[in-house]
Homo-oligomer: A and B are copies of this chain.
Amino acid sequence: MRAPIYGDVPGYPVGSTFESRTELSQSRVHPPPQSGIAGPSKEGATSIVLSGGYEDDLDLGDVIIYTGQGGRDPVTQRQVRDQLLTLGNLALVTSKTKGLPVRVIRGSGHKSQYSPSHGYRYDGLFYVEEFWHEVGRSGCRVWRYRLVQYDIPDAPTKGQVKENKADYPRPHRAVSTILRVVRDTQKAREVKSLYKFACQVCGVVLEGPAGPYAEAAHIRPLGMPHNGPDTLDNLLCLCPNHHVLFDLGMITITDDLRLIGYSGDLITKPGHVLNQAFLQYHREHRFHGT
Residue ranges of A at the interface with B (Cβ–Cβ < 8 Å): 5-10, 58, 60, 63, 65, 85, 97-101, 124-125, 127, 129-130, 132-134, 144, 146, 150-162, 164-165, 168-169, 171, 173-188, 204, 206-209, 213, 215, 221-226, 229-230, 239-241, 243-245, 247-250, 284-286, 288
Contact = CB atoms under 8 A, between A and B. Distances in A.
A8 B168 CA distance: 7
Nearest to A207: B250
11 contacts: A8-B165, A8-B168, A58-B225, A65-B225, A153-B154, A156-B156, A175-B185, A178-B183, A180-B181, A181-B182, A240-B241
A97 B245 CA distance: 11
A101 B132 contact: no
How many identical subunits does the complex contain? 2
A178 B153 contact: no
A161 B157 contact: no
Contacts of A178: 99, 127, 150, 156, 181-184
A250 B226 CA distance: 36
Nearest to A56: B225
Contact of A183 (B160, B165, B169, B244): B160
A74 B279 CA distance: 36
Nearest to A227: B174
A155 B38 CA distance: 31
Contacts of A179: 98-99, 182-184, 215
Nearest to A156: B157
A48 B88 CA distance: 48
A250 B245 CA distance: 23
Contact of A153 (B158, B174, B215): B158
A155 to B, nearest CB: 7
A8 B176 CA distance: 14
A26 B222 CA distance: 39
Given A100-B177, A175-B230, 11 more contacts: A99-B178, A127-B177, A132-B249, A146-B224, A155-B161, A157-B181, A157-B183, A173-B230, A176-B185, A209-B250, A240-B244
A216 to B, nearest CB: 9
Contacts of A285: 132-134
Given A156-B156, A159-B223, A178-B156, A208 B101 contact: no
Contacts of A160: 183, 223
A157 B159 contact: no
Contacts of A152: 161, 165
A224 B58 CA distance: 10
B169 A177 contact: no
A224 B63 contact: yes
Q: Which residue, A150, A169, A180, A208, has most C-beta atoms of chain B within 10 A?
A: A180
A89 B281 CA distance: 20
